[in-house]
Amino acid sequence: MKKENQMMDALLSEHARKGAGDDTDFLESLEKRLDDESSVTSITAAQLDTQRSKLPTIGMGIAAALTVAAVGYYGWKEPRTHDLAINATHDRENQAKNLLSNRSKQVLPKKKREASNKPTAKDNVLGEIAVDKIALSESSTISDRQDSFAPKAPRSSAPRSSAPKPRRNILNGRQGRHFESAISVTIAPRVGDYLEGVDERKLTQKALGDRYGNFVDNAFLSPWESPLSTFSVDVDTASYTNMRKMIQNGQSVPTDAVRIEEMVNYFNYSYPQPEGKHPFSVHAETASCPWNTEHRLVKVGLQGKDIIREQRPAANLVFLLDVSGSMNSHDKLPLLVDSVKILLEELNADDSVSIVVYAGSQGLALPPTYVDDEGRKTILEKLSSFSAGGSTNGGSGITLAYKMAKKHFVKGGVNRVILGTDGDFNVGLTDHKALVSMVEREAKSGVFLSVLGLGSGNLNDAMLEDITNKGNGNYSYIDSLREGRKVFLDDMMGNLVTIAKDVKIQVEFNPAKVKSYRLIGYANRMLKPEDFKNKTIDAGEIGAGHTVTALYEIVPGNAKEAAPVVDDLEYQKNKAHPKPAERTLVDNPHMLTVKLAYKGPEATKETESTYFKTRVKDSDLVWTDASDDFKFASGVALFGMLQRSSEHVGEGSYDLVRDLAEKGRGKDEKGHRTEFSDLVRKAAQ
């Protein structure tokens, strides 16, 4: 124990001497020390007692590392303001906490949490500090122990002496400071938190089923038996961004986290603008299938009508911000707030913003405020005041947000709730189906829902996608400020202004030209053939300027020849798979027909849909002669198939994906296609 104290004392002295610019070196030194001191990488049942005796040391070591960061910072930056000190301390605490948490999970045995609630402090005064901070974080919340959802008070212009009086603690004979109001998370995690590390992979796989849901890729179907393929459009993009973050962080990608249609639709394509009465155009292109040259690939694209920004209708936006404890990470609440600030710059004096926050309970943080010069300043100050703490009562927050949006409804305008969360709803209305039902019910009021997913670990992807689908909105995942700009700046019109809702696609295949077909992606958006004409069936929405792309892989030939061969039945006169009654093939040169159904953005459930269709012939082109969009979209689809370990990849490979992406890059003004090529290269390593 004396040796451990000397090591931490030396690190503290060196870190304080070097100053604030050496956090990376400090953490690397700490990690190296852990590597040198710990030779145990796994624990058997027989070693449990031996390792248990070391747990207090580990808990105190974690407390020491985090306290060092806090003490060092206040020692170096005492002249700085109280608020700046708090923010920087949280950053250092999170870095050290994440480092040590990840390493501890690798070496500690599994044990029930209640068996050891707190690390003991009998060997070192550091343990007393750790236990003290645990108690504080459990009994108090941010902003001098107010409700955890409450925003901080606006920054005061009062002299520094008005700040909370610091307590004094002794750390191995050294003096240090910290403010009670700066502690919003457990600084020294309980030993029980680490005892769940064993069998983590099994637990994670189980958790992934809950987080991402489960779905099966569409199979090849015979148009003789299933001539109609019907599905709801999807303009969500969250799956691609979430997958991108995992790959960039060197993580494996869970199969069901990959929704190929969201990957394809993350990118924009050059489809013609609509002409005539319909709010979107339909474009189809055919060529050989890159991963199986004996097959054909059909790309169906929709292009939503562009709207000039100056002609955008007034917006009534209610931001529903999750400020619970699970959002206390640099890639969650701070990133969410910075992203919302980007959108704020695009709003004007005709637009109003309300802010509802939720944690253990919910509250109206900002009533409707017009975004003129004074209002913009007020909104920015409010956004900058939020901190994370408490459990997540998301259901209650959504109810209040819809209430505010309906109360200040703008007829003919944009009325939308924008939810930013990691989806970890753990108190209040937590039942998945109940949340979905509530959102579906509220959507009938004409208030649409957009969802922004953030962070990892707690991300309840399946639930967020579900409530978005039923809330007449779109689901995005923000992993960086650059992505925040894409969502709130580049794609703002499409993400806010809806031009058509309940948009359904139905493709009819000609059995004389198509032996079998398979829709790539959209597995959890399939509809029954009869749903296409059913005006009461909910479907997806298209925003201004949005593009929607779907790909079909087709086995060419006569479907009748491909029908399964079975013996004659003994107790029936007809065969098991008879020719459909009174159906005769029509001599027609078209391969397929694309049918569209949609309603206006203000239509009700009882409003009749509008229908139109486009017939498509096979071009007989090979994929190398197809458009840039065709090559790139097929490359993204193949990448998704490889990530899902699809049985339909044929001759597909990462090399082929890169080839398709490079040949289909086009102008790429925003750099998104170039970034995709880099992502594929990293995934293939």
Higher-confidence position of 200 and 88? 88
Residue 214 has pLDDT above 60, yes or no: yes
Categorize the per-residue pLDDT at 388 as very low, low, confident or very high, splitting at 50, 70 and 90: confident
First to last CA, the chain: 43
- Cβ atoms of 208 and 460 within 8 Å: the answer is no
| pLDDT band, very low/low/confident/very high, at 31 (cuts 50, 70, 90) | low
Residue with more model confidence, 116 or 543: 543
Report for 121-130, 392-401, 609-618: range of highest mean pLDDT? 609-618
Mean pLDDT of 200-229: 75
Cα angle 505, 436, 260 (rounded to 5 degrees) comes to 45
CATH T-level fold of 228-307+499-567+583-660: Immunoglobulin-like (2.60.40)
Could you tell me what percentage of the chain is helix, strand and coil, using 3-state DSSP and rounding each to the nearest 5?
40, 20, 40
Q: Superfamily for 314-481?
A: von Willebrand factor, type A domain (3.40.50.410)
Q: What is the percent of the chain where pLDDT is above 70? A: 64
The pTM is what? 0.70
> Three-state SS for 164?
coil
Q: Where in the chain is the domain with CATH 3.40.50.410?
A: 314-481
- The pLDDT of residue 629 is above 50: yes
Beta carbons of 323 and 454 less than 8 angstroms apart: no
Q: Say yes or no to pLDDT of 567 above 70.
A: no
Percent of the chain with pLDDT over 90: 52
| Count of C-beta atoms within a 10 Å radius of residue 543 | 24
The contacts of residue 147 (CB under 8 Å, 6+ apart) are 141, 359, 360, 361, 363, 390
Q: Residue 62: is its pLDDT beyond 80?
A: no
pLDDT at residue 59 is higher than 70: no
Checking if the pLDDT of 529 tops 80, the result is yes
HSE, side-chain direction, 13 A CA sphere, residue 176: 21
Q: What is the mean pLDDT of the chain?
A: 75
Find which of 47-56, 420-429, 556-565 is predicted with most confidence, using mean pLDDT: 556-565
Structural contact between residues 474 and 235, judged by C-beta atoms closer than 8 angstroms: yes
Residue 556 near residue 295, CB atoms below 8 Å: yes
DSSP secondary structure, 475-509, as one string: EEEE-SHHHHHIIIIITHHHHH-EEEEEEEEEEEE
Residues 6 or more apart in contact with residue 38 via CB below 8 angstroms: 103, 107
> What does the DSSP assignment read for 181-212?
GG--S-SS--HHHHTT-TTHHHHHHHHHHHHH
CA–CA dist 440, 462 (Å, integer): 16
Is the pLDDT confidence value at 64 over 70? no
What single-letter DSSP state applies at residue 219? P
Place of tokens 């753990």: 426
Distance CA(282)–CA(615), nearest Å, equals 10
pLDDT at 650: 96
**When comparing pLDDT for 52 and 232, which is higher?**
232
Two structure tokens written together for 119: 């690390």
Confidence of residue 462 (pLDDT cuts 50, 70, 90): confident
pLDDT computed for residue 397 by the predictor:
81
Tens-digit pLDDT profile for residues 327-344: 889 999 999 999 999 999
Task: Identify the residue with better confidence: 197 or 414.
Answer: 414
Side-chain half-sphere exposure of 383, counting CA atoms within 13 A: 25
The pLDDT value given to residue 76: 37
Q: If DSSP states are collapsed to H, E and C, what string results for 281-301? A: EEEEEEEEECCEEEEEEEEEE
Residue 619 has pLDDT above 50, yes or no: yes
Residue 398: which of 351, 368, 440 has the closest Cα?
A: 440
Query: What are the Cα distances from residue 650, in Å, to 14, 295, 332, 382?
Result: 58, 10, 39, 54
Q: Could you tell me which residue, 460 or 65, shows the higher pLDDT?
A: 460
Q: What is the dihedral of CA 301, 302, 304, 306, to 10 degrees?
A: 40
Distance between CA atoms of 517 and 557, rounded to whole angstroms? 11
Q: Which residue has the higher pLDDT, 588 or 53?
A: 588
Rg (CA), the chain: 29
Pairing between β-strand 592-599 and β-strand 174-178 as defined by DSSP bridges: unpaired
In this structure, what token pair is assigned to residue 35? 């590597």
Which pLDDT score, from 0 to 100, does residue 569 have?
A: 67
Buried/exposed code over 464-476 (b: 16+ C-beta within 10 A; e: otherwise): bbbbbbbbbbbbb
Tens digits of residue pLDDT in 465-491? 988 999 999 999 999 999 999 999 999
pLDDT of residue 506: 98
CATH 2.60.40.1230, the chain: domain bounds: 228-307+499-567+583-660
Alpha carbons 25 and 31: distance in angstroms, whole number: 10
Distance of alpha carbon 444 from alpha carbon 437, whole angstroms: 11
Are residues 69 and 85 in contact, defined by beta-carbon separation less than 8 angstroms? no
Task: Please write the tens of the pLDDT for every residue from 10-30.
Answer: 554 554 444 444 445 555 555
Distance CA 262, CA 548 (A): 10
Res 498 pLDDT > 60: yes
Reference 130, options 29, 54, 61; nearest CA is 61
If you search the block for the tokens 């060419």, which residue do you land on?
Answer: 556
Three-class secondary structure of residue 248 per DSSP:
helix
